[in-house]
Amino acid sequence: MVLRVVLMISLFLGTVGRVADADTLPNPSASDTLPNVVFLSPDTSRFWHMVAGFMEQVAADLEVEFDVLFDEERHRLSYLKLVQQVLSREEKPDYLIIMWKEQVTAQILDYARRQSVKVFSFNTAVPEAAREKVGSAPREKLENWIGHLGVDNVSGGQILARMLDQRARALNLVRSDEPVPVVALTGTLDSSAARDRSLGLLEATDGAGSELLQSVRADWSEQEARDKTSVLLRRYPNTAAIWSASDGMAFGAMDAARRAGLRPGNDLVVGGIDWEPEALAAIRAGDLYVSLGRHFMGGGLALLLVHDYHRGYDFADSGQSASMHYQFKAATADNVDNIAHMLAPENWKAVDFRAFSRVFNSQLREVPVSAERLMDGFSAALMKQGGR
All residue ranges of the chain with pLDDT < 70 are: 1-31, 387-388
Residues near 93 by beta carbon (within 8 Å), at least 6 away in sequence: 36, 37, 38, 67, 86, 117
The answer to whether the 8-151+295-327+347-374 and 154-273 domains have the same CATH topology is yes
CATH of domain 154-273: 3.40.50.2300
So what's the pLDDT on residue 302?
97
So what's the pLDDT on residue 386?
72
Tell me the domain boundaries of the chain: 8-151+295-327+347-374, 154-273
So what's the pLDDT on residue 388?
61
Domain 8-151+295-327+347-374, CATH class in plain words:
alpha beta
